[in-house]
Homo-oligomer: A and B are copies of this chain.
Amino acid sequence: MAKEKKFVEAITPMAEDFAQWYTDVVKKAELVEYSSIKGCMILRPNGYAIWENVMHQLDAKFKETGVENVSMPLFIPESLLQKEKDHVAGFAPEVAWVTHGGNEKLQERLCVRPTSETLFCDLYKNIVQSHRDLPKLYNQWCSVVRWEKTTRPFLRTTEFLWQEGHTAHATAEEAEERTVLMLNVYADFCENVLAIPVIRGRKTDKEKFAGAHSTYTIEALMHDGKALQSGTSHNFGDGFARAFGIQYSDKENKLQYVHQTSWGLSTRIIGAIIMVHGDDSGLVLPPRIAPTQIMVIPIAQHKEGVTEKALELKETLIKAGFKTKVDDTDKSPGWKFSEQEMRGIPLRIEIGPKDLEAGQAVLVRRDTREKRVVPFEQVTAVASAMLEQMQNDMLHRAKAHLESHIYEADDYESFKETVATKPGFIKTMWCGDEACELKIKEETGATSRCMPFIQEHLGDTCVCCGRPAKVMIYWGKAY
């Protein structure tokens, strides 16, 4: 019983210590385990299965837009990394260096890829000759390494899993179109599948990707009112093409530089799922991303027919297309309920001897704990409706949370007060000057999140310096 006790011990309540709640959830839902390499995490089956579903669904969306998958080397020679000057300045300080292969010292150091723009450029230089070779719409699913000082599971780790798309186009217009297209793929995925509403917009020059002309971002709001950058899409213009010499001959047989994009989404998104939807009983997974959607739990399972009926229900539900499991281990029902709740499995079906007699089962939603007693023959239909409703409700709740945590500030005093007292996004007007951005960050801890695609006219002057404003912008404290 010692072990059972340990599990059902309450996790730290969110309201008491949100960071500790987060750590408790990722450990107790068995999503990750720390490894003996500082900052590198192990994704356990419960955690990796979520990522598998993200990969599966997002990959299908990419392919619908013509994207093809490839696999690029893990290593980048130092000289290749250095070809684009902004890019190397951004990444060189945080890469891992391989200096020896076997027993020999390498002639040139190799870094473990922190991102693969340089490798894709090196490839495109070799395989793009004519306008007929364009566009190239490549993506890879892999891990990358960035030497981080402070790390937290999913949110910031030395190694993390992601996908990185890299495209090359004949024209600047096509590249811009692709940059926005992929950002929208991410945003739609977050909203429709993960039930996470996001703000779509452009990063400031200060916050954009090293080497990019422009970076677009989706920003989500966590339960504690902090922002999480959840996916980014970059337009490189022809900057990398010029640095790497990637040219094609156009229809008039003239040499032109290609225009490029890259876009990435990482396991960080699992951190967002946890912090947007979780509660004091643990994880709450949106049905469309849950590796197990329904857990059938027999009560007094030694009683005749109970386990058999549970297994029968499972088969019926699997045939109807639901990812269903039965927990017929010898743990107590209470323990099984806690476990199912901790893991965020959307729907629980309880069935005991009395239910069996009455020809019914009890269906319980994870998010609201709404309970419905349902005749066996209606279990599939009701389970389907409850899961659908839960998915919708989760999105609406998250939207309401987001909308009720967007504040507005016209002047610097009210801005500072809002940052200090109201966790969430603050929308303001901005002059566009990096000096104001730096001042705000230094004095309040809030950073610019994005200049949203949907601009509002909130006033005429910059919230910081009072000079004429150029753009509307979101600020917030962020992970």
Residue numbers of A with Cβ under 8 A of B are 3, 33, 35-37, 40-45, 48-49, 51-52, 68-77, 80, 93-103, 110, 112, 119, 122-123, 126-127, 129-130, 132, 138, 142-143, 145, 147, 158-159, 161, 329
Contacts and interface: CB of A to CB of B under 8 A. Distances in A.
Contact of A96 (B43, B69, B70, B100): B100
Contact of A42 (B35, B68, B72): B72
As for how many copies of this chain the complex holds, the number is 2
A80 B36 contact: yes
A136 to B, nearest CB: 9
Given A73-B35, A80-B36, A102 B93 contact: yes
Contacts of A161: 71
B48 A70 contact: yes
The 8 A-B residue pairs with the shortest CB-CB distance, nearest first, are A45-B68, A40-B73, A43-B71, A101-B147, A97-B100, A102-B147, A99-B99, A96-B98
Contact of A77 (B37, B71, B329): B37
A210 B67 CA distance: 40
A74 B159 contact: yes
A103 B96 CA distance: 9
A388 B117 CA distance: 42
A35 B132 CA distance: 23
Nearest to A146: B102
A3 to B, nearest CB: 7
A110 B37 contact: yes
Nearest to A67: B45
B42 A74 contact: no
Contacts of A138: 45
Contacts of A49: 68-69
Q: Name which of A94, A100, A130 has the most chain B CB atoms within 10 A of its CB.
A: A100
> Which of A74, A129, A145 has the largest number of chain B CB atoms within 10 A?
A74
B73 A37 contact: yes
B101 A42 contact: no
Given A45-B68, A159-B73, A130 B3 contact: yes
A90 to B, nearest CB: 13
Given A33-B127, A69-B45, A80-B36, A102 B94 contact: yes
A75 B159 contact: yes
- Quick one: which of A52, A73, A127 has the most chain B CB within 10 A? A73
A112 B130 contact: no
A122 B34 CA distance: 10
Nearest to A94: B102
B94 A71 contact: no
Contact of A103 (B40, B52, B69, B93): B93
Contacts of A94: 102
Given A43-B70, A48-B69, A70-B43, A37 B75 contact: yes
Contacts of A132: 329
Contacts of A159: 73-75
Contacts of A123: 33, 35, 42
Contact of A112 (B35, B69, B98, B126): B98
Contacts of A129: 3
Contacts of A51: 71
Nearest to A107: B38
Contacts of A96: 75, 98, 100-102, 110
A93 B102 CA distance: 5
18 contacts: A35-B122, A36-B77, A37-B75, A37-B76, A40-B74, A45-B138, A48-B69, A51-B71, A52-B69, A71-B143, A71-B161, A74-B143, A75-B96, A93-B103, A95-B101, A95-B102, A96-B98, A98-B99
